[in-house]
A and B are shown apart, each in its own frame.
Chain A
Amino acid sequence: MSAPGSVDWSALSAGDERSFEVPDVTRTHFVRYAGASGDFNPIHHDQSFAEAAGLPTVFGVGMWTAGVLSRVVVEWFGPESVKRYQVRFATRLWPGDTICCQGRIARIYEEEGLPHADLALSATNQKGELLVRGKATVRPFRS
């Protein structure tokens, strides 16, 4: 976990990586996010609804995976350092899947007198299929 100022910007290099896994995703994860986000689309929590839509079961809302993926950036730089966070959704996430989150520094540069880093992010499942591709820009927080 990073407190502000604990990131040594001069020690960062393009290509630096961080990753973690969330094993065995459950329907409870989906339901908790539905409650926290207010997104109650039944396709993400109601088995009967999902089956009626021709699906084997419920699947995760993309914004949940996007939220989980943001942790790569937040643990590294602190949540107050995020200037931009962008995600694109690919494959669906199913109960029982593992989410593999990865972040890599694509570029380091200076803007408005502050060091900035662009990160390339991805969340993949246990089969290596892309769930979410993301990009983030971070810079030190100044109040």
Chain B
Amino acid sequence: MAYIRPPGLPVERGKVHEFADAILDAHPHYHDAEAAAAAGLPGVVAPPTFAMATALFSEADAELPPELAALDMRFALHGAQEFVFERPLFAGDQLRGEPGEVKTYSKKGRRGGLMKFVEAETIYRDARGEVVLRTRTTAIQTEGVVQE
């Protein structure tokens, strides 16, 4: 799991094709620019989870929100992930992510240990400054080695 805050997320046609291939999705709006144009789309569409491919575009561990950086990654896991779109991501978009709201809370686990939750939002804007996408990552840290 990459908790990396990208300084920039270029949405590129080749990357979209590669990512869609990796998730085994042959939808023509991911792979075929002509099919996308025929459907009235300004470019091929990026898959809903594409923004998770941001690690490639960033070296920015330094931009981790402190609440996530403080987690002991040996005992942390990715609990949940949410994507909320104002519009689809299209090839040609130049997006920038900025940290949004961060929430932390604790719950008692089924085995009695304390589980610490961190929910971190990232807000992606396009070149015009319009919000395109909000993502929310939920990381969970347990007190010991994670068991199934």
Spell out A's residues near B (CB within 8 Å): 1, 3-5, 22, 29, 32-33, 35-41, 54, 61-64, 66-68, 70-71, 73-75, 78-80, 82-89, 91-92, 136, 141, 143
Interface SS majority for chain A: mixed
In the complex, the answer to whether A68 meets B23 with C-beta atoms within 8 Å is yes
In the complex, the answer to whether B22 meets A35 with C-beta atoms within 8 Å is yes
Interface SS majority for chain B: mixed
Spell out B's residues near A (CB within 8 Å): 1-2, 15, 18-19, 21-30, 35, 38-42, 45-49, 52-57, 77-85, 88, 145, 148
List of B residues within 8 angstroms of A78 by Cβ: 27, 29, 39
In the complex, the answer to whether B49 meets A85 with C-beta atoms within 8 Å is yes
Q: How far is the CA of A1 from the CA of B30 in the complex (A)?
A: 12
In the complex, the answer to whether A80 meets B48 with C-beta atoms within 8 Å is no
Q: Which chain A residue shows the least CB distance to B56? A: A38
In the complex, the answer to whether B52 meets A79 with C-beta atoms within 8 Å is no
Q: How far is the CA of A39 from the CA of B1 in the complex (A)?
A: 6
